[in-house]
Amino acid sequence: MVMQDAIKAEILLENGVAVRRDYEPVSYREALDFQTARNNAIYEGLAPDLIWLLEHPPVYTAGTSAKADDMLDPRFDVVEAGRGGKYTYHGPGQRIGYVLIDLKQRARDVRGFVHALEGWVIDTLADFGVESWRSEAGVGIWTRDIDGSEAKIGAIGVRIRRWVTMHGFSVNLNPDLSHFTGIVPCGIAEKGVTSLARLGISVSAQQWDEALLARADQFLAKLGQPCPPAATTEGKQA
């Protein structure tokens, strides 16, 4: 993808951050190449920070801590993502948010960035009546599944290159949850995965995007502050 063509599809917000929304699936490899190019462009001052909301065709991605034993059934393409963490799944019905931000212009706090990213998703889920939280079970967004157990509804995975962030979060709106069975999601075998649809809540990609972006200023403001002392998350996929 040519960088200038991609930028034409973006909307620049008043805070100087660009937003791009795609509603047709974007291949993971294409998105990864674009992120790498955009990361460089932001570092060099040639492009603004970016929030990119999209979905992928079915794919398994491997973080830098991925273990071979956690790949149970490679039924889809497997891509080395370059982010922290282990294996995860992306596919239709799961909304992805890639957040490319120059932390040199913020608080230069990786843990603070991850904490703010988690809070952004948690607050947006609350707008749809879903209580979610950070958990000692692992980095990510957790909620109560229909059987009362704790289950993951969103994942966090980041990479920092020269203080410019890459990757971001995923939230399960209505994906095929059976696709997660090809891996041990995020290396946590004892915990399940859920979605808004499984919880009986119907949210379209467009509805999710609007609610999320309504809280974008709140999220960005937190990046200018150091990580709260009580926060224990690290910048890894989970």
Check the annotation: does 87 bind a ligand: yes
Q: Is 3 exposed, middle or buried (0-12, 13-18, 19+ CB in 10 A)?
A: middle
Angle, CA of 43, 47 and 51, to the nearest 5°? 95
Choose the catalytic residue: 31, 153, 186, 203: 186
Please answer whether residues 55 and 173 qualify as being in contact, where contact means their C-beta atoms are separated by less than 8 angstroms.
no
Check the annotation: does 168 bind a ligand: yes
Check the annotation: does 192 bind a ligand: no
Please give the backbone phi and psi of residue 82, each rounded to the nearest 5 degrees, phi first.
Answer: 85, -5
Residue 52 pairs in a beta bridge with 20, 98
Check the annotation: does 236 bind a ligand: no
Check the annotation: does 85 bind a ligand: yes
Check the annotation: does 156 bind a ligand: yes
Q: Is 186 a catalytic residue?
A: yes
CB atoms within 10 A of CB 101: 24
Check the annotation: does 154 bind a ligand: no
Rounded Cα distance between 224 and 128, Å, is: 27
Check the annotation: does 67 bind a ligand: no
Which residues are designated catalytic?
Answer: 186
> Per the annotation, where are the binding residues for substrate?
83-90, 155-157, 168-170
